[in-house]
Amino acid sequence: MNIFELYDLADWYKSYLKRLRAAYADLQNATNNNANQPTKVPIEGPLSALVQFLNQMDMGQLSLQQLELLRHLKVLHLVGPEGARWIESVVRVEAYDPATTNQNLSDGIATINAAGEKLINYAAAIDQLDLHPEQVEESDGRITVRIGFRSDASIRNIKDWKTSADDWYQIVRGLALTSGQAPEDAKVVGAETGSIILVLSVTYGLSRLLATIAKHITSTAKEVLSLQIALEDLRQKKILTKTMEAEFERLQSEARAGAQKRVEEQIAAMVPAPQMTEKKAMH
């Protein structure tokens, strides 16, 4: 993660911190009462307000590295939609064990405060050192795309680097030509460590194509993974037959083929067909 991203994350967190802390505190006041007083108070109001606030946090503007730092600070599960799911799961047991719920909330608020203090100190140190983070200046109509290589796709040596570079050349070249652009329109504007992060500056049209493909790859991967988990579960229970296994293989193949078809259909809708362009040019 570069200095700019760290500074930007501190700014982002600080913009939410006061309201985040207050929303958690309102709910914790109710759970604290229910844990220690004979007269119980309803928690639906502060719970609903907190969940609504968490769901409205803009997690989409954070990079993978910024999210990873929030995870390192042990605060990622307390913010955004993930935080909303966590707090709802915690409060579900409130009627059965108010004391534990209250303690979980107290610990969560302490973690939120600790993360805020560290991030604010990071930003202050950058200011004191008079480091002025440089951000890539984007031209009109261009978008920065960050590509991370991790796990099986990670780059371990110069051979992996060359292979990945060749692969991404073919990917970007194909998408650029599909959207009527030259391959060199996609600019490499930076690279960082962290399983190698390639930073590209691309046009809006090319970024939409990349996002469309990534979206379907992710959803298909989840679908195939859930099928594989179900298959393994049946195998562990020793009730998996060859017919059932073949059916699971068929479903996985259909999921992959369906994803490819959906990607092709969406790209076709986004990019005018060559023959249509030619016909319009003749009129």
Map the chain to HEC letters: CCHHHHHHHHHHHHHHHHHHHHHHHHHHHHHHHHHHCCCCCCCHHHHHHHHHHHHHCCHHHCCHHHHHHHHHCCCHHHCHHHHHHHHHHHHCCCCCCHHHHHHHHHHHHHHHHHHHHHHHHHHHHHHHCCCCCCCCCCCCCEEEEEEECCHHHCCCCHHHHHHHHHHHHHHHHHHHHHCCCCHHHCEEEEEECCCCEEEEEEEHHHHHHHHHHHHHHHHHHHHHHHHHHHHHHHHHCCCCCHHHHHHHHHHHHHHHHHHHHHHHHHHHHHCCCHHHHHHHHHC
Bigger pLDDT: 20 or 35? 20
| Burial zone of 70 (CB within 10 Å; 0-12 exposed, 13-18 middle, 19+ buried) | buried
Lowest mean pLDDT among 162-176, 196-210, 257-271: 196-210
Lowest mean pLDDT among 11-20, 26-35, 64-73: 64-73
Reported as a pLDDT band with limits 50, 70 and 90, residue 196 is: very low
How many angstroms from the chain centroid is the CA of residue 38?
43
Query: Could you tell me what percent of the chain has a pLDDT over 70?
Result: 65
- In whole angstroms, give the CA distance from residue 266 to residue 282: 26
Bigger pLDDT: 2 or 46? 46
pTM: 0.58
Lowest mean pLDDT among 5-14, 33-42, 55-64, 122-131: 122-131
C-alpha distances out from residue 85 to 38, 47, 76, 77, 79, Å:
28, 11, 12, 9, 10
Q: What is the mean pLDDT of residues 2-26?
A: 91
Statement: residue 27 has pLDDT above 50: yes
